[in-house]
Amino acid sequence: MSEHVASEAVESFKAGICSIVGLPNVGKSTLLNQLIGERLSIVTAKAQTTRQRLLGIYSDDRHQAVFVDTPGLLEPRYALHDSMQAEAERARSDADVLLYVVDVGWERSSDHAGAYTPPAGVPAILCLNKKDRLPDDRLNSLELEHAGRGIWHSIVRTRATSGEGVDDLKRAILGLLPESPPLYPVDEIAAAPVRFFAAELVRETCFEELADEIPYATAVEIETFRESGDPLYIAALIYVEKESQKGIVIGRGGSMIKTIGRKSREKIEHLVDRPVYLDLRVKVIPNWRRRPGRLKLLGYDVPPGSR
Ligand SMILES: Nc1nc2c(ncn2[C@@H]2O[C@H](COP(=O)(O)OP(=O)(O)OP(=O)(O)O)[C@@H](O)[C@H]2O)c(=O)[nH]1
Ligand SMILES: [Mg+2]
């Protein structure tokens, strides 16, 4: 009898992939972090922060949702953008559930959702995010408008920055997962190694501290990641495309690189929960965003036929 109960419990486990898609800056990465309860995906006020698919895993005793955060894109301009676009498309085609995120305070984002059709056979949820940016009556009419298309399995309003609505959203997603055993060990929350997140935190800090085009011209590579020894020793390279950008990243008397180093180190220490020694250097690779060979070296997948 007990054996029978156990096999039933295994059969009713639900697991699958939920891809989070939408235009840049609508709050996809903030939502992923809230759904997982951990700051995995980097978030900044600038659009096109996320460059690669990032997995965040949520497990409870009956479900496992593997959330995939994707880059939000408009028109690709560089080989790097082709790579970002391909990452987003791959995530879309792998999905068991699709989460389409809209910034309700930005008309273009909602219009885009209005024109979007999820792939056949994949249940899709519409997330009206940044609900703090629109009065309730306008939110109501927006929701009615989207509901009228009949393509959304459900529509959920959220404020990702505070976590409001995220529990409802999670419930809606978990309910749509197919029956399946867990895809990852249930105590894992991420599928990438810590050194990937360390590089991402340096990149996030570059986005926060540097202005204009410079953050977009930066890439971060971890050269050394030595976990034996105390503190944890990390040497990282920040790549830029021009000598003039290198000068700005270093700053007068090294002031900017010191700030980036200190802030990045604090974030990494928070992540690994131990002291970190972070050594940062800046190097120029001319036009790396336009050169598929360089992109590959920096860890970005490049689709065939990329410009
Ligand atoms: N007011 C408000 N701001 C939000 C909300 N959710 C996210 N944001 C902010 O929106 C900005 C973009 O958030 P991200 O999570 O980086 O957006 P994204 O969709 O991942 O952006 P890309 O990676 O560039 O495609 C950040 O400054 C967030 O703090 C929300 O519910 N309300
Ligand atoms: Mg993002």
- For ligand 1, is residue 165 a contact (CB within 6 Å)? no
**Which parts of the chain register pLDDT below 50?**
1-3, 9-10
- For ligand 1, is residue 154 a contact (CB within 6 Å)? no
Ligand closest in space to the Cα of 73: 1
Q: How far is CA 109 from CA 71, 85, 105, 125, 242, in A?
A: 15, 17, 8, 15, 33
Q: For ligand 1, pick from 39, 43, 157 the residue to mutate: most ligand atoms within 8 Å of CB.
A: 43
**What does the pLDDT read at residue 171?**
97
**What does the pLDDT read at residue 78?**
82
**What does the pLDDT read at residue 197?**
94
**What does the pLDDT read at residue 3?**
47
**What does the pLDDT read at residue 155?**
98
Q: For ligand 1, pick from 26, 80, 104, 201 the residue to mutate: most ligand atoms within 8 Å of CB.
A: 26
pLDDT in tens, 129-144: 999 999 999 999 999 9
Note whether 21 and 100 are within 8 A (CB).
yes
Sign of CA dihedral 136, 47, 268, 79: positive
**What does the pLDDT read at residue 1?**
43
pLDDT in tens, 138-167: 999 999 999 999 999 999 999 999 999 999
